[in-house]
């Protein structure tokens, strides 16, 4: 199978924070991969902008080293690496002062798509937006890209939205949630809305419940001071898990267009019932023989911040009334595994008896690792011995189904950056979505703070706290196994 590369127009991409961690780990290596895939148009230019004093050559060396470290085997192709680095430029800039802005303006004289990636602390968004306009660098066609955390509650998110709105229209603002750039997440829409099979069953008549798990093995060491002020609810649920929930639960948009899709996602968030405090479990990981505890990682011996959260939510609309959505995410769990599972109801009547009557269909959508989907179906166990039934997966692991092409599953960042250049906002969060998500999570977090809620302990390498298991067991259900 030959991959199809959608061309993009020539562009100037300015990365503020161009020497930072995200730029070196994700943005530049991702852009290089797109370059290698032939997706960078002739004359595309990437301009790093940061406080450090260096010239374009110094920046090329920095990025060359970053690509060697984070770019995988593609970095070994010296000729294409040199060609890519040739398209890089650099400006030393003072985000809150005057230094460097004239130099940047002088570089930006071409009539091409202009995109500005704000890979900096949100406190600098306002200053950057203001200066881009004051120096005539941004125009009506320009786009800005911003990263999470987009606020830490509704009030701060609203204020960030207002800051950006003072200088840019909503159609120019690209709020990244990198989960939306993951291959399987997009496939979720393809599967739901491109097949006749699933949509008729996608409701409370046929679905028993839905589970969303994002499990990680890493701890918070190295970023403990950020994380300790955030916790799993702000760091993962308010954005990534809620976006997954929206895509699985939304009504079919009338067409595949950015605002049509985002309108439907917004309706899901607004239909979420306030969370019952008895339906949420928070946890904090303990030390193991090999790794420190959460409190050690966070360097806060009295921390009440959660590194794990599990919850049962309900969406109050006709499609989903009565169907629980169980969500969980945590650090230092048993395996790195992210999955959405749609667990269908039992048969209304089974013609089989005893154990043979107890089989269920489950559609599992694996985000990572082994991206793909499988549908658990019931069949007869082959061979003699009567009608014994077993569950087998109809497996569509992308790597198997797509052969060589799947090896090149595009990283979320590179896909999203190319969408910015193309002007496609479908996979980006709209301001009202972000605010609605905070409006739902704020009271939950406020409740914990008011009660001084103490997270339950859990072992490193486990499934999370015992209470999270009970959350399901009480309903006569069980979590799916976390396996990598
Ligand atoms: C980030 C969170 O947004 O997503 C991190 O801040 C988390 O805490 C990461 O580890 C997970 O992303 P991925 O793509 O590795 O699942």
Per-residue pLDDT band at 406 (split at 50, 70, 90): very low
Q: In the predicted model, what is the mean pLDDT of residues 203-215? A: 98
Would you give the DSSP letter of residue 241?
I
Mutate to test the pocket of ligand 1, among 235, 308, 333 (most ligand atoms within 8 A of CB): 235
- Whether residue 139 sits in one domain with residue 185: no
Domain at 249, CATH number: 3.30.360.10
Q: Can you give the length of the chain in residues?
A: 484
* Residue 282 sits in the same domain as residue 367: yes
Contacts of 32 by beta carbon, 8 Å cutoff, 6+ apart: 67, 71, 74, 75, 81, 84
Q: Is the CB of residue 339 below 6 angstroms from any atom belonging to ligand 1?
A: no
Q: Is residue 166 part of a domain?
A: no
Residue 235 lies in a domain: yes
pLDDT higher than threshold 70 for residue 403: no
Question: Are residues 270 and 371 located together in one domain of the fold?
Answer: yes
CA 6 / ligand 1 centre spacing (Å): 28
- Which of residues 97, 125, 147 is at a domain's end? 147
Ligand 1 centroid from CA 196, angstroms? 33
Q: Is the CB of 216 under 6 A from ligand 1?
A: yes
Beta carbon of 147 within 6 Å of any ligand 1 atom? no
DSSP string for residues in 415-475: HHHHHHHHT--TTSB-HHHHHHHHHHHHHHHHHHHHHTPPPEEE-TTBSS-HHHHHHHHTT
Residue 402's pLDDT band (cuts 50, 70, 90): low
9-22 residue pLDDT tens = 889 999 999 999 99
Lowest mean pLDDT among 205-219, 378-392, 395-409: 395-409
Q: What is the pLDDT of residues 226-269, one digit of tens each?
A: 999 999 999 999 999 999 999 999 999 999 999 999 999 999 99
Structure tokens at 92: 């030393």
pTM of the model: 0.94
Instruction: Give yes or no for residue 302 having a pLDDT over 60.
Output: yes
Per-residue pLDDT reduced to its tens digit, 37-49: 888 888 899 999 9
Separation in Å, CA 278 to CA 39, 238, 315, 467: 50, 19, 17, 11
Structure confidence by residue, pLDDT tens digits, 131-140: 999 999 998 8
CB atoms within 10 A of CB 73: 6
Task: Single out the residue of 279, 283, 304, 284 nearest to residue 294, CA to CA.
Answer: 284
pLDDT at residue number 4? 60
Residue 395 lies in a domain: yes
CA of 223 relative to ligand 1 center, distance in Å: 12
- HSE, side-chain direction, 13 A CA sphere, residue 162: 6
Residue whose pair of structure tokens reads 């007869």 in the numeric block: 380
Q: Hey, whose CA ends up nearest to atom 2 of ligand 1?
A: 235
CA of 17 to the centre of ligand 1 (A): 19
Same domain, 328 and 381: yes
pLDDT of residue 5: 63
State the catalytic residue, choosing from 167, 178, 209, 240: 240
- Examine the domain organization and report whether 285 and 388 are in the same domain: yes
Q: Give the number of domains in the chain.
A: 2
Strands 113-118 and 207-215: unpaired
Whole-number Å distance, alpha carbon 219 to ligand 1 midpoint, is: 11
Question: Hey, what's the torsion of the CAs at 292, 297, 302, 307, to 10 degrees?
Answer: -90
Which runs of consecutive H residues, i.e. helices, occur in 71-210?
78-86, 101-107, 125-134, 154-165, 183-194
Find out whether the beta carbon of 235 lies less than 6 Å from any atom of ligand 1: yes
Range of the domain at 43: 11-147
Residue nearest to atom 9 of ligand 1 (CA): 236
Last residue of a domain, one of 101, 124, 147: 147
Percentage above 90 pLDDT, the chain: 78
Which residue is associated with the tokens 């020539």? 10
CA-nearest residue, atom 5 of ligand 1: 235
Determine whether 240 is an active site residue.
Answer: yes
pLDDT higher for 397 or 171? 171
Shortest-distance Cα residue to atom 6 of ligand 1: 235
What does the pLDDT look like over 138-175, one tens digit per residue?
988 899 999 988 999 999 999 999 999 999 999 999 99
What is the average pLDDT across 298-311? 97
- Ligand 1 atom with the smallest distance to the CA of 412 is 14
What is the per-residue pLDDT for 77? Answer: 81
pLDDT value, residue 370: 82
Number of C-beta neighbours around residue 355 at 10 A: 9
Residues in Cβ contact with 419 at an 8 Å cutoff, skipping those fewer than 6 apart: 174, 425, 426, 427, 428
Cβ–Cβ under 8 Å, residues 67 and 29: yes
Average pLDDT over residues 77-98: 93
User: What is the per-residue pLDDT for 105?
Assistant: 96
Give domain status of residue 482, yes or no: no
Over range 329-353, report the average pLDDT: 93
Which atom of ligand 1 is found nearest the CA of 216? Answer: 10
Confidence class for position 443, pLDDT limits 50, 70, 90: very high
Q: Same domain for 263 and 348?
A: yes
Tokens 């390498």 sit on residue:
461
Distance from C-alpha of 239 to C-alpha of 241, rounded to nearest angstrom? 6
* Mean pLDDT taken over the chain: 92
């Amino acid at each position: 199978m030959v991959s199809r590369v959608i061309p993009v127009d020539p562009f100037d991409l300015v990365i503020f924070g161009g020497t930072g961690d995200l730029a070196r780990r994700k943005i530049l290596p991702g852009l290089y991969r797109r370059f290698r895939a032939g997706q960078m148009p002739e004359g595309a230019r990437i301009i790093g902008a940061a406080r450090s004093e260096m010239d374009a050559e110094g920046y090329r060396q920095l990025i060359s080293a970053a690509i060697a470290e984070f770019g995988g085997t593609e970095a070994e192709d010296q000729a294409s690496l040199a060609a890519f680095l040739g398209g890089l430029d650099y400006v030393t800039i003072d985000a809150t002062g005057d230094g460097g802005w004239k130099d940047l303006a002088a570089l930006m004289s071409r009539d091409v798509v202009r995109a500005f990636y704000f890979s900096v602390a949100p406190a600098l968004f306002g200053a950057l937006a203001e200066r881009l306009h004051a120096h005539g660098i941004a125009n009506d066609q320009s786009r800005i890209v911003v990263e999470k955390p987009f606020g830490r509650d509704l009030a701060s998110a609203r204020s960030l939205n207002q800051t950006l709105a003072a200088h840019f229209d909503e159609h120019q603002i690209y709020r990244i949630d990198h989960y939306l750039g993951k291959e399987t997440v997009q496939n979720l829409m393809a599967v739901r809305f491109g097949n006749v099979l699933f949509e008729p069953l996608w409701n409370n008549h046929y679905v028993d419940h839905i589970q969303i798990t994002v499990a990680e093995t890493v701890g918070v060491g190295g970023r403990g001071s950020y994380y300790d002020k955030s916790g799993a609810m702000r760091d993962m649920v308010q954005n990534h898990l809620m976006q997954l929930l929206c895509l699985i639960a939304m009504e079919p948009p009338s067409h595949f267009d950015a605002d049509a899709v985002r309108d439907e996602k917004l309706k899901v968030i607004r239909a979420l019932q306030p969370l019952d405090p008895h339906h949420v479990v928070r946890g904090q990981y303990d030390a193991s023989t090999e790794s420190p505890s959460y409190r050690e990682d966070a360097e806060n011996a009295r921390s009440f911040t959660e590194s794990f959260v599990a919850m049962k939510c309900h969406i109050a609309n006709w499609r989903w009334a009565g169907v629980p959505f169980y969500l969980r995410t945590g650090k230092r769990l048993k395996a790195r595994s992210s999955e959405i599972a749609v667990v269908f109801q039992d048969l209304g009547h089974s013609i089989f008896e005893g154990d043979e009557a107890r089989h269920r269909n489950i559609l599992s959508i694996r985000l990572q690792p082994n991206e793909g989907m499988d549908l658990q179906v019931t069949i007869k166990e082959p061979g003699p011995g009567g009608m014994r039934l077993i569950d087998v997966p109809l497996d569509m692991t992308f790597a198997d189904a797509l052969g060589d092409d799947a090896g090149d599953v595009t990283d979320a960042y590179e896909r999203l950056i190319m969408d910015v250049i193309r002007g496609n906002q479908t996979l980006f969060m709209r301001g009202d979505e972000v605010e609605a998500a905070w409006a739902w999570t704020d009271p939950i977090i406020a409740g914990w703070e008011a009660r001084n809620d103490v997270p339950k302990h859990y072992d490193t390498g486990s499934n999370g706290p015992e209470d999270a298991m009970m959350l399901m067991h009480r309903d006569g259900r069980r979590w799916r196994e976390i396996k990598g």
